[in-house]
Chain A
Amino acid sequence: MDPLSLFFQLLAQAFLLALIYTLMSIGLNLVYGVMKIVNWAHGPVVMIGAYISYWLFTLYGINPYMGCLIAFLMCSLIGYAIHDLLLHPISRSPQFGASALLLTYGIGIFIVNVARVLWTDILRGVNLDQPPIKIGSISISAPYFYGGLIAVFATWLLYYYIDRTMLGKATRAVSDDKETSELLGIGTKAISRITVCVGMGLAGVTGGALSTIFAVTPELGNVLALKATTIVVVGGLGSFSGAFLGSVILAFAEVFGTYVSSPLYQPLFYLITLFVILIVKPKGLTGG
């Protein structure tokens, strides 16, 4: 492979990876923006989304990309339950941030173990038999490509929702100043409920898209969730453009870093990136 097409090949791979990372992190970011909590149940719900998509495909032959929609709805319901039953009752606690961190962490462990009991640790995968997409000398993985498209579409929808709708405006208001919003008559409980639903729904969509790329196991979300959290912190908590920027930086550091050295240094690359960015801009790239 000549150096130029090699460069473009790696570039394409890094860019698609960045899109997948974006999809992983926007839901997490949204929930942080409004609730000011890091939702550790995000990864396990991604895994649930992947299973939903897998079973719909295996049992009913539903295309996993369509399955994403159903995963969105079902994971939103999980979000609804998590919010109303667990998060909301402790939301007035003075240590809400810390309590919610532990709480969602526990919810995550619970979800992973329920999945273990229901579906065991057997690896599963969706077989779509899609040939790679070729553009000139570079070839792109079809599951990554469609995953990337879903990421773009989901991000655009979310952006539209937050930026252009009344509900989105209210969400932004709650995110900016919860108490003032409440005084102005915004139903903050409803807003945080919807936010958690949308956030978890996005986790479900992520799972659906990932089911065509990774092996579907109860552990699926865990590794990725850690990366998504890093991305959110790098990009700036609560910021969408930040989530995208963080994803691009980490994906490029991973792909190019691995190519020029060894994959063993991959965690080093992304942790060094994290440190440097946090030292230079402690609130993340787009943080004020």
Chain B
Amino acid sequence: MFRKAVSKMTVVMLITVIIVVAAIGGGLYYYFTQVFKPEKNEILVGVSLALTGTYAAPSQRQLWGFLMWIEDVNAEGGIYVKEYNKKLPVRFVYYDDRGDSATAVKLYERLITVDNVDFLFGPYGSGITLATAPVAEKYKKLMLSQMAAADTIPAQNYSYVFTTLAVASQFGLSRKALLDYLTKDLGYGIETFGVVTSSELYPLTVARSTIKLLEDAGYTKVLYEEYPKGLTDFSAILTKAKDANPDFLYFVCYPADSYVILRQLQAIDYKPKLLMFDDGPNDPAFVQAFGTVAEGILTQMSWHWEAPFPLASNFTERFKARYGEYPRHWSALPYAAGQVLKMAIEKAGTLDTEKVRSVLLTENFTSTIYGNIKFGDWVNPQGQKLQQINLNAVNFVLQIQNGVLKIIAPKQYKSADPIFPYPGW
């Protein structure tokens, strides 16, 4: 009975129909995706941010930077793409990875395969960027990384990942610029330095590149200490530092460490001539917590509202009006990355990844709010080759003067003369 119901003829017919339908479907798909390019109405850019969790505060500010860029671009009608002979508005797709690498990896997969974004921005932080960069690489999507300062990422030889902010090993350049400025231009005679660093990867990179650059420049290292994460008492290290008495005492530390260190420096009554903490004093709360003792302390930021970059002050004013605080590198660098992307697309005249990539590799992107951005390869002081980083990226040395942060080095960017020596308490 059943043998009769499905005759050979029917089977042949069915297979033929399936083949024909598949062939027509495939042909149409090919036609619509490859030959006939569907009308493109917008440019999709995607990013995963750590909007909740440990990195919520900085990553929220990262989002603000992107939102301001999107708004500015779309206010002009979008980005002109020659291929379509019109301006395309930018649509911004973002998700919350909660600061979790595994989640971020899934979200980038989603951005590429489901949302079909044209370009990617990097997430918040080196760890998450390190985890997600291979996704961009796998799908050959451009990723502009703006919040990952670890050397590890550009050292991976990724072809589609470009880093716009100063990486850790570039930080040492401005420490050297500071000492050169104080010694050679102002004649303050800095000869010795001491470095105390957290033993985590990122601070170690900053510390080691700084030491290499300073020693090569003829400064003498008289103290070097590494300390483990979670150290609560620094008195013994600081007593050692007092004994060694370097002219420039530099802590490559996490924000909370700087509070304990400064209190304990006060306790043993030791005032180095130059005192620098990588993180801590660059937050307004530091001045509130230390008052006049904070005066003259050095710190760093990879962007500053007084930097002599085009449109930086304009950006700052609008940002302040909108969010009620000074923009930090968390917001400015995403904005600058957006500016680079816009210029690259306009120059390439297409949204094609390879063509935009070759523009990124060759072009000098002038007049971003982070100065001139030029991507290229650089061998860091440890001898590691870093690929597609921003060769002009600067990390400013700042000083607290009258309770606010002023740029004092590198000298071509300075917004105030340095206070020397550290007045202390």
Contact = CB atoms under 8 A, between A and B. Distances in A.
B267 A263 contact: no
Interface stretch (B7-15, B279-287, B350-358): B279-287
Contacts of B227: 262-264, 266
Interface residues of A, number: 47
Interface of A: 1, 6, 9-10, 13, 17, 116, 120-127, 129, 131-132, 134, 139-144, 213-215, 217, 219-220, 223-224, 226-227, 251, 254-259, 262-264, 266-267
B157 interface: no
B6 interface: no
A134 B280 CA distance: 28
B54 A122 contact: no
Contacts of A131: 266, 425
B290 interface: yes
Interface residues of B, number: 42
Nearest to B242: A1
A139 B268 contact: yes
13 contacts: A9-B268, A13-B268, A121-B54, A127-B290, A129-B425, A141-B264, A214-B256, A217-B256, A223-B230, A255-B235, A255-B236, A262-B226, A267-B228
Which of B225, B228, B290, B292 has most chain A Cβ within 10 Å?
Answer: B228
Contacts of B85: none
A44 B188 CA distance: 47
Interface in B251-267: 255-256, 258-260, 263-264, 266-267
Given A10-B235, A141-B267, A219-B256, 13 more contacts: A9-B268, A120-B57, A123-B256, A123-B280, A125-B285, A125-B288, A131-B266, A143-B263, A227-B232, A254-B233, A258-B233, A266-B227, A266-B231
B267 A144 contact: yes
B21 interface: no
B243 interface: yes
B291 interface: yes
A164 B101 CA distance: 55
B231 A132 contact: no
Contact of B228 (A120, A217, A263): A263
Interface in B33-74: 54, 56-57
Contacts of B290: 125, 127
A132 B265 CA distance: 10
Nearest to A226: B230
A9 B239 contact: yes
Which of B225, B264, B267, B269 has most chain A Cβ within 10 Å?
Answer: B267
Contacts of B263: 141, 143, 213
Which of B227, B232, B264, B425 has most chain A Cβ within 10 Å?
Answer: B232
Nearest to B230: A223
A129 B293 contact: yes
Contact of B266 (A123, A132, A214, A264): A132
B222 interface: no
Contacts of B23: none
Contacts of B240: 259
A266 B228 contact: yes
Interface in B402-425: 425
Interface in B273-304: 280, 283, 285-286, 288-293
Interface string B214-226: 0000000000011
